Chain A
Amino acid sequence: MTALASLACLPGAAFAQAADKIKVGFMLPASGTYAALGVAIENGFRMYVGEQGGKLGGREIEYFKVDDESDPAKATDNVNRLIKRDKVDVLVGTVHSGVAMAMARAAKESNTILIVPNAGADAVTGPMCGPTIFRSSFSNWQTAYPMGVVAAKQEGKKNAMTITWKYAAGEEAVNGFKEGFEKNGGKVAKQLTVPFPNVEFQALLTEIAAAKPDAVFAFFAGAGAVKFVKDYHAAGLSKTIPLYGPGFLTDGTLDAQGEAAQGMLTTLHYADELGTERDKAFRTNYAKAYKLMPDVYAVQGYDAAQMLAVGLKAAGGDIGKKDVFRAAVEKATIASPRGDFTLSKAHNPVQDIYLRKVEGKENRKLGVAVKGLADPARGCKL
């Protein structure tokens, strides 16, 4: 009972001391497979706010945190801890798509502003899109489609196979690739899947070797990406059949992948060393502040804070003016380290997607794969 009592006084106490602060609730993974991504996103966000002197739109920012455990089954409870207990004004999260979908629903119901700094589920800015839901990252379709275009047009591949985990994000990515590839004259012969999150790929690598396609497109992330790229290389396939993927296949994983990833082509909305002043400044400051190399997740967190700043500034620091907030963010051009981007009607970034090549421990930019690419936002009624 004392426990309940102390929990009961929480919101009141927090409210009293922070009446004029904007409350930002981070719902990010702090444990498990995605924990490192959660840290990068939070760092990026805090860094931008720090650069603005701790204030956005003239209001101080106060942070609240919940570990989402990357468990969609607990997502509604976790997001309500931020919305109802901490009474946050803005939700920032998350990495896992299933959790993000539950967050989107809760945000819609409580009319809370939600900025998604990673989760790529097409549905977040598709059927689930909403006036207060924004994304600072990408849609799964968006990062994979350009690779299909490049593979068919630039690399001249005709016959490809795809492989991914059997789950929504993977299916969205390989379908994006397929669309880009087949529109430009290629043909996806076979789509392989591995049960999620199984990392025993040997059987399917043998199938690939037997089928001998011109190219393979793979969508895996984190440890799965590391293992797949290493296994692909160890099976001797990387010599004969080029492996493509969205950038997640080689982002933040090059240390672990080592030699196996060298020379791989991937597409993403960011790359190491873009060479712009904006990006250089961002990378130096980030490295200085956190003693870590920045990655795409840090950029997405940073830009989430930028989007919040734009909206808050327009609303004169009054987060209650949701229409003004929304209109301002919709019109804004965000000066991101990745390059300027605007938001589509469905609130997903319209951005350049880079073609990158792995050299040493970096994903080096080769050029722009598709310029100003917008997600088709299928199913969004905004």
Chain B
Amino acid sequence: MDLATFLVQCLNSVQYGLLLFLLSSGLTLIFGIMGVINLAHGSFYMIGAYMAFALAPYLGQHFITMLVVGVILAVVLGYLLEWAFFSFLYERDHLQQVLMTFGLILVFEELRAILVGNDVHGVQPPEWLSGSFSLAGMMSYPWYRVFAAVACLVVAFAMYWMVNRTRLGMMVRAGASNRDMVRGLGINIKRLYRIVFAMGVALAALAGMIAAPMASVYPNMGSGVLIICFVVVVIGGIGSITGALVASLLVGFVDTFGKVFFQELSGMSIYLLMAVILVWRPEGLMGKRS
């Protein structure tokens, strides 16, 4: 592998890693603060992608507006879902919530089939992002992928700011480290949960909308990303946004270079990475030692 190819592969790794971060940041929030293992996270990603497909005929050229509209819809959806399906589960065993999210996956998947059908659909990127630029003379790189990477970075910074600089962020940090303390401080934990859940749904849906022009939309698209998100969240340390970012990039690199150098066994590479890291650091890279 020459230097140019190596650099392009690094770019691929970073870009894939950033998308993974966007996908898994919502999961790590819900995981860390609410303690809910949200199997339906992939479904929210799918809902986002289908939302992009549904909104594209109307707002396709105003891509940013479309993303904003989509995020608002997703927040509303998340708010309602938390109210209807999760708010009464917190007193119970955590595993009950897993069961609930599993039920939701089935429902969302079938609703998708009934409403949109089972065909694969493409979503066109907006005009102003549809070109590409030449890279090292041998291949071109689509502007849309650059846009996606930048969007993921913007979200990463926004979340960093939110967690470290705002009152909500303070509650989130406190909630992640000690739930009882939050309650003791007189913070309305139920409201916090509802906000966090809605944010998680919105982040997954945003990832779906951003990914739609690159990945197209298709049945079962959620289940494919779910496990890889888990891998990222666990490697990074549950509840840690910084950890998720580091882990996403790490997974991006291992996956990309695994495919290049160890083709035969590349399916295993990220799981091997996760197993090694957890055996070495049982709480993940940025997890708290308990």
Instruction: Name the distance in Å between B21's Cβ and chain A's nearest Cβ.
Output: 14
Q: Do A202 and B12 have beta carbons less than 8 Å apart? A: yes
A206-B5, A252-B119 are known contacts. Are A196 and B267 too (CB-CB below 8 A)?
Answer: yes
| Residues from chain A with Cβ under 8 Å of B16 in the complex | 200, 202
Q: Do B260 and A255 have beta carbons less than 8 Å apart? A: no
The complex places the Cα of A33 from the Cα of B117 at a distance, in Å, of 11
The complex places the Cα of A166 from the Cα of B2 at a distance, in Å, of 26
Q: Do B263 and A193 have beta carbons less than 8 Å apart? A: yes
Interface assignment of B138: CB less than 8 Å from any CB of chain A: yes
Comparing B94-102, B201-209, B211-219, B231-239, the segment that makes contact with chain A is: B211-219
| Residues from chain B with Cβ under 8 Å of A235 in the complex | 139-142
Interface assignment of B61: CB less than 8 Å from any CB of chain A: no
Interface size on A, residues (CB 8 A): 41
Instruction: Name the distance in Å between A261's Cβ and chain B's nearest Cβ.
Output: 10
Interface assignment of B242: CB less than 8 Å from any CB of chain A: no
Interface assignment of B164: CB less than 8 Å from any CB of chain A: no
The complex places the Cα of A171 from the Cα of B143 at a distance, in Å, of 33
Proximity bits, A156-186, B CB within 8 Å = 1, else 0: 0000000000100000000000000000000
The complex places the Cα of A39 from the Cα of B260 at a distance, in Å, of 38
Q: Do B264 and A35 have beta carbons less than 8 Å apart? A: no
The complex places the Cα of A230 from the Cα of B215 at a distance, in Å, of 9
Interface assignment of A380: CB less than 8 Å from any CB of chain B: no
Q: Which residue of B lies closest to A205 (CB)?
A: B139
The size bracket of the interface on B is 35 or more
Q: Is the interface of A mostly helix, strand, loop or mixed?
A: helix
| Residues from chain B with Cβ under 8 Å of A198 in the complex | 224, 267
Interface assignment of A46: CB less than 8 Å from any CB of chain B: no
A197-B224, A202-B256, A227-B215 are known contacts. Are A36 and B12 too (CB-CB below 8 A)?
Answer: no
Q: Which residue numbers of B lie inside 8 Å of A, CB to CB?
A: 1-2, 4-5, 8-9, 12-13, 15-16, 109-110, 113, 117-122, 124, 132, 134, 138-142, 144-145, 214-216, 218-221, 224, 255-257, 259-260, 263-264, 266-267
Given contacts A206-B9, A230-B122, A235-B142, 17 further A-B contacts (CB under 8 A): A33-B220, A35-B113, A36-B118, A194-B266, A198-B224, A198-B267, A202-B12, A203-B9, A203-B260, A207-B5, A222-B218, A223-B219, A223-B221, A227-B214, A234-B144, A237-B139, A256-B120
Q: Which residue numbers of A lie inside 8 Å of B, CB to CB?
A: 31-33, 35-36, 39, 166, 192-200, 202-207, 209-210, 212, 222-223, 226-227, 230-231, 234-237, 252-253, 255-258
List 10 tightest A-B contacts by C-beta distance, closest first. A195-B267, A236-B140, A256-B122, A223-B218, A35-B118, A209-B139, A36-B118, A203-B256, A234-B142, A202-B12
